[in-house]
Amino acid sequence: MRVLHICYFGVKENLVQTQVLPYLEKLASHGHQMSILTFEPDFYLKWNQAAIDQFRVQLAARGINWIPTAYHKRPAIPATLYDVCRGVILIWRMSRRSRIDLLHARSHIPMLIGLIARKLTGAALLFDIRGLMADEYADAGLWRSSSIIYRVIKSLERFGIRMSDHLVVLTKRLKEHLIEQGQSTSDRISVIPCCIDMRRFTDYDDTKKIRLPFQVIYAGSVTGLYLLEEMGRLFLAISRLVPEATLKILTSVSPSETALVLGKLGIDPSRFDIQSVTPDQVPQLLRAATVGISFRKPTFSQIAASPTKIPEYLIAGLPVVSSVGIGDTDKILCSENVGILVDQLNDFGYDDAAQRLLTLLKDPHLQLRCQTVARRYFDLDDVGERLYANAYQKIEGIIGLK
């Protein structure tokens, strides 16, 4: 198929580099002609024609044709509507030069672009639902569930689910929810979790691995739906049992703000380290740790979540301590015995989790089991590539019936 992936991010953003381009490269290897439309922040400041041409050559070598355009931020609603119109026009012009078989829309704004462009191009539409956008914003306290913007995005989501030719969701829980609500049928939904390139974490000489005494590590954002204070309290519970334990946080958020939260909990500054690192630095730092943690607010929107930090921890050989209710994480950690769930975010829950964690860490087969589970559920090659290829096959069948 001739496929256009619509992505409302810049091509150099970490998410696109690790979660979009690797998939497109894999799908190109299956014979699909892959193009990607990205919306670039500060486009006219950061990109000139020579830089665009150079990056196009790099992506072309991976089987990907790149179409960049400018992202507009303010005023929010008019700017987004302008981007939608601009995207539709670009796609229409592309379709006049070469037929487009499939519009692969990553999340809600690209889905709106795809819905309109489909009318002009006759292409099929795949809605790749990366999360319940309106509910996530409401759960994070950014929107009120009674606000107009929430209702508009939620209505758009339902319309996109109903009108798309196929859906991709990150979790079985979201698929079950959509079926229970009568919004879709099982055959129209593919479940594909956030997968990672395992080679980034395994192409190391284990004999040179630096093992720290006992390090608790967290990688990711510490604001919004993420529970920094609660993770700090878990660390305090662990440190009461393991006095030499330290906490490392890898985040792009201001270290001083993060340190302030931890300091208010009574954690000695000598016991924690906060770093801003590149994606290339993450694998080695994780492999030196003892356990990975991941706490999010247990809200409705989290049924759709597939945090990439979970497979990253696991492939690094780390068991995971997680709050409950996050996508399919509960089931995987429990059924595979590779982690601990904290179902009560209070002192009793943290102390209980710390005790269970220390028991789990005594298992001599734990590291190997974590890595095996990571490959079974989240490997880009064996899981992500195969499931996306299957989804594309289903769409080819739909196109063949038109």
- The answer to whether the CB of 128 falls within 8 A of the CB of 104 is yes
**Which of the residue ranges 22-26, 86-90, 251-255 would you say has the lowest mean pLDDT?**
251-255
- Under the banding of pLDDT at 50, 70 and 90, the label for residue 287 is very high
The backbone torsions φ and ψ at residue 3, rounded to the nearest 5 degrees and listed phi first, read -115, 135
State residue 402's pLDDT score.
46
Of the options 3.40.50.2000, 3.40.50.300, 1.10.1670.10, 3.40.30.10, the CATH number for the domain spanning 2-195+380-401: 3.40.50.2000
User: Token digits for 178?
Assistant: 């959509």
Query: Distance (Å, rounded) from C-alpha 320 to C-alpha 229?
Result: 18
User: Token digits for 27?
Assistant: 């799908």
Domain 2-195+380-401 matches domain 199-377 at the CATH topology level: yes
- The answer to whether the CB of 143 falls within 8 A of the CB of 150 is yes
State residue 207's pLDDT score.
45
Each residue's pLDDT tens digit, 178-192? 999 999 999 999 999
- The answer to whether the CB of 225 falls within 8 A of the CB of 299 is yes
* Alpha helices (H) along 181-254: 199-202, 228-241
Of the options 3.40.50.2000, 2.40.110.10, 3.30.1360.170, 3.90.1300.10, the CATH number for the domain spanning 199-377: 3.40.50.2000
State residue 277's pLDDT score.
85
Each residue's pLDDT tens digit, 195-230? 999 988 876 555 445 556 899 999 998 888 899 999
Angle formed at CA 140 by CA 135 and CA 143, multiple of 5 degrees:
65
The backbone torsions φ and ψ at residue 355, rounded to the nearest 5 degrees and listed phi first, read -65, -45
Strands 246-250, 124-128: pairing kind: unpaired
Query: Distance (Å, rounded) from C-alpha 198 to C-alpha 42?
Result: 32
**Which of the residue ranges 50-54, 91-95, 280-284, 324-328 would you say has the lowest mean pLDDT?**
280-284
Average pLDDT over residues 65-80: 95
Quote the pTM value: 0.92
Q: Give the 3-state secondary structure of residue 145.
A: coil
Query: Distance (Å, rounded) from C-alpha 128 to C-alpha 282?
Result: 27
State residue 208's pLDDT score.
45
State residue 3's pLDDT score.
98
Percent of the chain with pLDDT over 90: 88
Query: Distance (Å, rounded) from C-alpha 311 to C-alpha 55?
Result: 29
Domain locations in the chain?
2-195+380-401, 199-377
Average pLDDT, the chain: 94
Each residue's pLDDT tens digit, 289-302? 999 999 999 899 99
DSSP element (H, E) containing 159? helix 148-163
- The answer to whether the CB of 88 falls within 8 A of the CB of 120 is yes
- Report which DSSP code applies to 379: B
State residue 212's pLDDT score.
61
